[in-house]
Chain A
Amino acid sequence: MNFIDTFFNWDVLTSSMPLLLSGLKVTLLLGLVSVVAGLVLGLAIALVRLYAMRPIRLVAIIYIDLFRSIPLLVLLILVYFALPFIGISLSPFASAAAALTIVSSAYTAEIFRAGIEAIPKGQFEASQALGLGYRHMMSDVILPQAIRVVIPPLTNNCINVIKDTALASVVAMPDLLKQATQAQALEANPTPLIVAALMYIGLLWPLVLLVGRFEKRLRTTR
Chain B
Amino acid sequence: MSSIVSIRNLSKKFAGFSALKNINLDVSEGEVVCIVGPSGSGKSTLIRCINLLEEYEKSGSVLVDGIPVVRGEKLAMVRAEVGMVFQSFNLFPHLTVLQNITLAPVRVRNTTRTVAEKQAYAMLERVGIAAQAGKYPGELSGGQQQRVAIARALAMQPRIMLFDEPTSSLDPEMVGEVLDVMKKLAKSGVTMIVVTHEMGFARQVADRVVFMDDGEIVEEGTPQQIFDDAREERTRNFLNAILQH
Contacts and interface: CB of A to CB of B under 8 A. Distances in A.
Contacts of A130: 79-80, 103-104, 108, 152-153, 156
Contacts of A145: 92-94
A132 B104 contact: yes
B51 A132 contact: no
B83 interface: yes
Nearest to B81: A131
A61 B53 CA distance: 27
Contacts of A123: 90, 92
A126 B51 contact: no
Contacts of A120: 90
Contacts of B90: 120, 122-123, 125-126
Interface string A124-155: 01101111110010001100110010000000
B166 to A, nearest CB: 13
Among A130, A133, A141, residue most surrounded by chain B Cβ atoms (within 10 Å)? A130
A123 B100 CA distance: 12
Nearest to B77: A131
Interface in B65-96: 76-77, 79-84, 86, 88, 90-94
Contacts of A141: 92, 103
A131 B108 CA distance: 7
Interface string A45-80: 000000000000000000000000000000000000
B107 A122 contact: no
Interface residues of A, number: 17
A148 B84 CA distance: 27
Given A128-B53, A129-B53, A144 B79 contact: no
Contacts of B76: 131-133
Nearest to B52: A128
Contacts of A128: 51, 53, 79
B10 to A, nearest CB: 18
A146 B152 CA distance: 22
B151 to A, nearest CB: 12
Contacts of A125: 53, 84, 86, 90
Interface in B87-120: 88, 90-94, 103-104, 107-108
Given A122-B86, A125-B53, A140-B103, A132 B108 contact: yes
B74 to A, nearest CB: 11
Interface string A99-139: 00000000000000000000010110110111111001000
B53 A122 contact: no
A211 to B, nearest CB: 21
Interface in B148-178: 152-153, 156
A141 B90 CA distance: 11
B83 A126 contact: no
A131 B86 contact: no
Contacts of B107: 132-133, 136, 140
A120 B90 CA distance: 9
A122 B87 CA distance: 10
A120 B92 CA distance: 11
Contacts of B152: 130
4 closest A-B pairs by CB: A131-B80, A122-B90, A126-B90, A130-B104
20 contacts: A122-B90, A125-B53, A125-B86, A125-B90, A126-B84, A126-B92, A128-B53, A129-B51, A129-B53, A129-B153, A130-B103, A130-B152, A131-B81, A131-B104, A132-B103, A132-B107, A133-B108, A140-B107, A145-B94, A148-B94
Interface of A: 120, 122-123, 125-126, 128-133, 136, 140-141, 144-145, 148
Given A130-B79, A132-B76, A133-B107, 14 more contacts: A120-B90, A123-B92, A125-B84, A125-B90, A126-B91, A126-B92, A128-B51, A129-B84, A130-B103, A131-B77, A131-B81, A136-B107, A136-B108, A141-B92
